[in-house]
Structure 1
Amino acid sequence: MSTLREQFSADLKTAMKAGEKGKVAAIRLIQSALKDKDIEARGAGKGEISPDEILAMLQKMIKQRQESIAIYDANGRPELADGERAEVAVISAYLPQQMGEAEVKAAIEKAIAETGAAGVKDMGKVIGALRAAYAGQMDFGKVSPLVKGMLGG
Structure 2
Amino acid sequence: MDLFERVSEDIKNAMKAKDKVALDTLRNVKKFFLEAKTAPGANDTLTDADALKIMQKLVKQGKDSATIYVQQGRQDLADAELAQVNVIEAYLPKQMSAEELEVELKTIIAQVGATSAKDMGKVMGTASKALAGKAEGRLISDIVKRLLN
1:54 is matched with 51
Partner residue in 2 for 1:72: 69
TM-score (norm 1): 0.88
With the length of structure 2 as denominator, give the TM-score of the two structures. 0.90
Note the 1:26-105 alignment, pairs <5 A.
26-40=25-39, 43=40, 45-47=41-43, 48-105=45-102
RMSD over aligned Cα, in angstroms?
1.6
Instruction: Kindly provide the CA deviation profile for residues 27-56 of structure 1, in whole angstroms up to 9, marking residues without a partner as x.
Output: 01111111222233xx1x343343222222
How far apart in 2 are the matches of 1:69 and 1:103?
27
Q: Is the 8 A contact 1:68 1:81 kept in 2?
A: yes
Deviation at 1:117, TM superposition (A): 2.2
* Matched AA of 2:128: R
Q: Relative to structure 1, is the Cα distance of residues 114 and 51 closer, same or farther in structure 2, using a 3 angstrom cutoff?
A: farther
Report the more deviating stretch, 138-147 or 128-137.
128-137
> 2:14 maps to what in 1?
15
Q: Secondary structure at the match of 2:38?
A: helix
CA shift, 1:23, in A, is 0.3
Q: Is 2:95 aligned against 1:116? A: no
What is the SS of the residue equivalent to 2:114? coil
Letter in 1 for 2:16: K
Equivalent residue pairs, number: 148
Q: Structure 1 counterpart of 2:77, which letter?
A: L
